[in-house]
Amino acid sequence: MIRRKFAKVGLAAVAAVSALTLAACSSNGGGSSTETTAGGNGGDGDLIKVGFSQLGAESGWRTANTESVKASLTKENGIDLIFVDAQQKQENQIKALRDFIAQDVDIIAFSPVIETGWDEVLQEIKDAEIPVVLVDRTVDTTVEDPYVTWIGADFRLEGEMAGEWVKENYPDAKIFELQGTLGSGAQVDREEGFDAVVGADKIIGKATGNFTRAEGKTAVEAALQAYPDMDLIFAHNDDMGLGAIEAIEAAGKKPGEDIIIVTVDAVRDGLQALHDGKFNFVVECNPVFGDQIVDLVKKVYAGEEVPKETIVVDATFDQSITQEEIDARLY
């Protein structure tokens, strides 16, 4: 399950922050993109000002997650949202978090691009008595009680579910592991879960595709040369798996037959590849939980007790999935 790196957070700071007045919004530079969903000056005194730093738009999953956040954290739902796309750069996220402090936001929420390197800015946020809600990914920091609550999928369990399917259906597979962004919570936990189930001796090679389709294709092109006997790919997300399909087909092989492909995410393109027989098994990582984030934000702002972590429930899919099921998906 999710690694528990910190003790439970006391909510005294949250109660103090709830009394802060709302400040005017300002723009964010440094190569990142900032959006505000409610007016900055006046008339919004009853709204909860939330600064949200999304790590980027590297995949279909991330796009769906962003859409869910923006659709839920709205003025109509009592939220004054300042949204920043960090474009997969930690320095952009750190700048955004500091900007949120300067803007006197009530709550900071962010999806960290990697786990480490947050100590200084998290301490600054703590000193400013602004509660933090972590979304999707986790942090590894020496700062005591750095966040109030975390919401997301159990990445390690996702890796374990993928591993269990491989172990049951292809116990002798020669596996190439297509890793996500190195150092990210999703990469670390999915890899640990999968490797623990299938056994390290079954994995003949690894390389990162940085959660993108293009880099996934490049990594598999190299892997086909370096590991000609590989017959199964575990990709940490659908987009890299879709890139793997392109590389496999360009090499004159059939994805889903000559090389089995197991992925995580279950975005529509990934499930279509599953239905078409090019993926073999997909573990869901549900990105649509903006409504749950709103609920947590309101409780934190009110000083109510919240769980340290909220697990978004995931499903699994095999090639028996129907086109009707795919067409009905929200992402």
**In the prediction, which pLDDT does 34 show?**
67
Q: List C-alpha distances in Å: 205 to 178, 232, 287.
A: 9, 11, 29
Architecture of domain 12-152+287-313: 3-Layer(aba) Sandwich (3.40)
Cα 243 to the center of its chain, rounded Å: 19
Point out the least confidently predicted range of 60-64, 79-83, 327-331.
327-331
Distance between CA atoms of residues 37 and 226, nearest Å: 49
Predicted confidence (pLDDT) at residue 11 exceeds the cutoff of 70: no
Angle at 82 between CA 79 and CA 85, to 5 degrees: 135
Percent of the chain whose predicted confidence (pLDDT) is above 70:
86
Residue 260 has phi, psi (to 5 degrees) of -75, 140
Parallel, antiparallel, or unpaired: how do β-strands 149-152 and 260-265 relate? Answer: unpaired
Question: What's this model's pTM, rounded to 2 decimal places?
Answer: 0.80
Query: 59 burial class (0-12, 13-18, 19+ CB within 10 angstroms)?
Result: buried
Residue 245 has phi, psi (to 5 degrees) of -55, -45
Alpha-carbon Rg for the chain, nearest whole angstrom, is 21
Segments in 199-289 forming alpha helices (H): 213-226, 238-250, 268-275
155-285: in CATH 3.40.50.2300: yes
Distance between CA atoms of residues 265 and 212, nearest Å: 13
Predicted confidence (pLDDT) at residue 287 exceeds the cutoff of 50: yes
**In the prediction, which pLDDT does 24 show?**
29
* Helix and strand numbers, DSSP H then E, in the chain: 11, 13
Domain residues of the chain, as ranges? 12-152+287-313, 155-285
Distance between CA atoms of residues 272 and 329, nearest Å: 11
Task: For the beta carbon of residue 201, count every other beta carbon within 10 angstroms.
Answer: 7
Q: Decide which of 39 and 230 is more confident.
A: 230
Distance between CA atoms of residues 206 and 22, nearest Å: 48
Average of per-residue pLDDT values in the chain: 89
**pLDDT tens readout for residues 202-247:** 999 999 999 999 999 999 999 999 999 999 999 999 999 999 999 9
**12-152+287-313 and 155-285: same fold?**
yes
Structural contact between residues 294 and 243, judged by C-beta atoms closer than 8 angstroms:
no
**In the prediction, which pLDDT does 32 show?**
58
Predicted confidence (pLDDT) at residue 89 exceeds the cutoff of 90: yes
**pLDDT tens readout for residues 148-182:** 999 999 999 999 999 999 999 999 999 999 999 99
Predicted confidence (pLDDT) at residue 18 exceeds the cutoff of 80: no
